Amino acid sequence: MPTGTLRKYVLLIAGVVLALDRLSKWIIANTIPLHDSITVIPGLFKLTHVTNGGAAFGLFSDSPSELRIVFLIFFSLLALIVVSALLWRHTQGLNSTAFALSLILGGALGNLWDRVLSGHVVDFLEFYIGQYVWPDFNIADSAIVIGAAILMVEILFAPKHHKAYEESALPQPTSEAD
């Protein structure tokens, strides 16, 4: 696949993630009052409109530092630069790595958009069992986690591509005639 075509698919995937994230947050913000919930699956899943001024899963949201949002935006931009550079250099085709990085790019853009415009991220997906509640999250967070999981699986379970190197590193048996 030509590099230009690959980049179009990568941008399309990231754009779809960004569009779904923006649309879902807009729907939640315009239909569910802040801190209210709609039960979808009793005992398991609710749509709950909350905001998160911190990082993933509310980390640093209680920080009193006025620079918290500046640091979060800075690190989001840094992550976008790294992911974009990896995508730009990755030209082997639309494979699991490109797909995963596209998901991460779209998710990072979605959450960065919220932080820049309002200083917080809208979260609304709430999973729970009894009193055990997973921190609320959104479509962008889901895309980032799924992309990262794909990359982890690829790293942990990908076949080794350096078999020739591994074989050359092994001691070679000597013959009795030597």
- Residue 22 confidence (pLDDT) above 60: yes
Q: What is the pLDDT of residue 177?
A: 57
> Which residues, in sequence order, are CB contacts of 88 under 8 Å at separation 6+?
7
Q: What is the pLDDT of residue 165?
A: 47
Region 61-67 average pLDDT: 56
* Catalytic annotation, pick one of 36, 123, 136, 178: 123
- Residue 79 confidence (pLDDT) above 80: yes
* Catalytic annotation, pick one of 21, 114, 136, 141: 141
| DSSP E strand stretches across the chain | 37-41, 45-52, 121-129, 132-133
Least confident of 24-38, 57-71, 89-103: 57-71
Task: State CA 114 to chain mean position distance.
Answer: 15
Query: What are the boundaries of each domain within the chain?
Result: 3-154
36 is catalytic: no
Q: How confident is the model at residue 70 (pLDDT cuts 50, 70, 90)?
A: confident
Residue pair 138/124 in contact by the 8 Å Cβ criterion: yes
The better pLDDT of the pair 132, 177 is held by 132
Tens of pLDDT, residue by residue over 86-141, are 888 765 677 888 999 999 999 999 999 998 898 889 999 999 998 999 999 999 99
Q: How far apart are CA 128 and CA 82, in angstroms?
A: 34
62 is catalytic: no
